[in-house]
Amino acid sequence: MLAQVKRFLIGTPLRNEDLAHERLTNVKALAVFSSDALSSVAYATEEILMALILAGSSALSLSMPIGLGIAVLLAVVAMSYRQTIFAYPGGGGSFIVAKENLGIYPGLISGAALLIDYVLTVAVSISAGAAAITSAFPALLPYKVEMILFAILLITVANLRGVKDSGSIFAVPTYAFVFSIFALLAVGIGRAVFGGLPPVVVTETVAAQQPLTLFLILRAFASGCTALTGVEAISDGVQAFKEPVSRNAAKTLTWMAGLLMAMFLGITYLANHVEIHPVHGGETVLSQVARAVVGQGAIYYVIQGVTALILFLAANTSYADFPRLASIIAANGYLPRQLTMRGDRLVFSNGIVLLGAVAAALVIYFHGDTHSLMPLYAVGVFLSFTMSQSGMVVRWFKHRAQDPHWAIKAAVNGLGATVTGVVLIIIASTKFTHGAWIIVLLIPIVVMVFRAVHAHYLHVADDLRMPLTEELEQVKHTIIVPIAGVNRAVAHALSYAMTLSDDVRAVHIGTDPEATEKLQAKWNQWNPGVKLTVIQTPYRSMMRPFINYVDKIERRSKLDMVTIVVPEFVPTRWWHHLLHNQSALMLRAALHFRKNTVVVSVPYHLAH
């Protein structure tokens, strides 16, 4: 039944050779890898205004100059990552670039920052989508967290179906959002230019809570830099594109940067023109802009609907990149190797499930509040930006003899590293007390986890290593069969045990003297050729007396190995297991971690 449910939700398994057909066209790749970056226009302007409003209504006019500065930063980062795509067509993004050019620890720091950022992307984007819905329908506000968790579940299942299927699912909403935003901008800017778009009526101006300082302006700039989150996604997933992978990925990156820049500046301009005032925990800035431009009619609800949808689906960028990056880090021995395995649909299923689970926990902890999550958001991504671009500068210098244009390329990446490094310092300093300290603390912890995993794998490899000339040792061992009665399951297990060794011992732990006496009589009458040892105990637990018996056998016999053969009957229905005490399962669990002890379960399948 579980297999049928899995097939219904995820689909039939794909063959290994089908992997080539699962690659994405540029149109689908833009939807898969750019939904995070494109959707950030729904909240990036709002984050700028939320910071500036602290200095009063008059400070909101600075949103446009700040927006232009962020647009320039976006152009620099996009140009830098185009070079990364051509230099590293295998993908892996900043982790591979930093690891190969700066060293293993910069690579691990960059990888940790990106993994954390991808988790935050899921939590932030889906929380913002829920905020768009509750802005249009305030009655749904009490159910916000439940809506977010349900959306995470749906996107997780959609991605488990495979890259190609998820690209088809998410392409329509992504392009519907882009079309609706550009339509909104065309109408809004047209009305603004020709004088038909008056400011929104505000009953009273907001008084300044603090003076307009350079620090506050930098804080607003840092808040708006959330518009750049997701820009690195294409460089991480180059191998998901159709051939030629680098050329197609670079084209898609250019289109993404152009669309993002135009939408972000357009929304910022309209918000500034109609004098939008941000409301913490209330109606979003984009909702207010749409209401001012097209009114509260059907078109407004269409815009809010596609905005909510793209924000929900923006998490798909993380689902496309987190499992790939985790698999690359795991392949290098710094994460569990299960993350390198592809599932039935040729995707890294374990990474997808892990991402969904951690993001859901984050949403529950922060109650789905976008503004609480946002300060955590940009530190990791700009750290990875800086690491990646710095690594590229080193790479061009190393390959200067083979590339006559290395100086120009190094200059582009050097500019990217410098600019993103400055922004990183601004973000970390201005948002440190607002929650960024969590990420500053969490990144070293994740790196320590990487090191612990790697150390474990090195120790395991060292323990398992052996010379090929080494001969196998002859092992002397005794077979112990725990029995609860005389039945076919016990007979089946004894028959198996007697094929392994001549030293087979049946052991019964008795708690009821009368029942034990009857069992002994049955055993003597049956006489299977194996001596029965009965251990009477006044307590109800059978586990401890049995383990004590095994310890005694090991001490007396000086054996190399003890094998416990556990009889176990298997019911025909899954719910029949609930009717039995699962003593075989508990016994296996108790003995599993003992040295020089082997536990073998011998199943007997019931007919009814």
80: CATH: 1.20.1740.10
Residues of the chain with pLDDT under 50: 16, 18-21, 203
Are the C-beta atoms of residues 192 and 273 closer than 8 Å to each other? yes
Q: From 386, 26, 500, 63, select the one nearest 240 (Cα to Cα).
A: 26
The tokens for 166 are: 């998820």
Query: The tokens of 467 are what?
Result: 């010379």
Q: Do 303 and 384 fall into the same domain?
A: yes
Contact 535, 510 (CB under 8 A): yes
- The answer to whether residue 176 is domain-embedded is yes
Please choose, from the candidates 399, 359, 302, the residue with its C-alpha nearest in 3D space to the C-alpha of residue 154: 359
Task: Give the number of domains in the chain.
Answer: 2
CB 54 within 8 A of CB 209: yes
Residue type present at position 422? V
Range of the domain at 523: 477-605
d(CA 203, CA 459): 68
Residue 472 within any structural domain of the chain: no
Residue 469 inside a domain? The answer is no
CA distance 315 to 317: 5
The residues near 596 (Cβ < 8 Å, ≥ 6 apart) are: 554, 559, 560, 561, 562
- Residue 164 has what pLDDT? 56
Radius of gyration of the chain (CA): 31
What b/e readout covers 284-293, taking b as 16+ CB neighbours within 10 angstroms? bbbbbbbbbb
Q: Residue 137 and residue 304: Cα distance in Å, rounded?
A: 10
The CATH number given to whatever domain includes residue 497 is 3.40.50.620
Evaluate whether 355 touches 118 at the Cβ level (below 8 Å). Answer: yes
The β-bridge partners of 604 are 569
Same domain assignment for residues 381 and 491: no
Tokens of 538: 């006044």
What is the number of H-type helices and E-type strands within the chain?
Answer: 23, 5
482 in the same domain as 451: no
Domain boundary among 428, 457, 486: 457
Among 93, 299, 64, 38, which residue's Cα sits nearest to residue 184? 299
- Domain contains 275: yes
Query: Residue 81: what pLDDT?
Result: 83
Q: For position 596, what pLDDT does the model report?
A: 81
Cis peptide before 404 (omega within 30 of 0): no
pLDDT tens digits, residue range 122-180?
A: 888 788 778 778 877 888 888 888 888 988 888 888 888 765 555 666 678 888 999 99
| DSSP symbol at 479 | E
Torsion of CA 87, 93, 99, 102, to 10 degrees: 70
pTM higher than the cut 0.75: no
Q: Is residue 465 part of a domain?
A: no
Q: Are both 488 and 520 inside the same structural domain?
A: yes
Helices (H), 279-339: 285-294, 298-313, 315-331
| C-beta of residue 426 within 8 angstroms of C-beta of residue 221 | yes
Q: Of the residues 457, 487, 522, which one is the last residue of a structural domain?
A: 457
DSSP H stretches of helix in 399-481: 406-430, 436-464
Closest Cα partner for 360 from 149, 114, 150? Answer: 149
What are residue 480's phi and psi, to 5 degrees? -120, 125
Q: How far is CA 351 from CA 317, 323, 354, in A?
A: 13, 4, 5
Query: In this structure, what token pair is assigned to residue 473?
Result: 């040792």
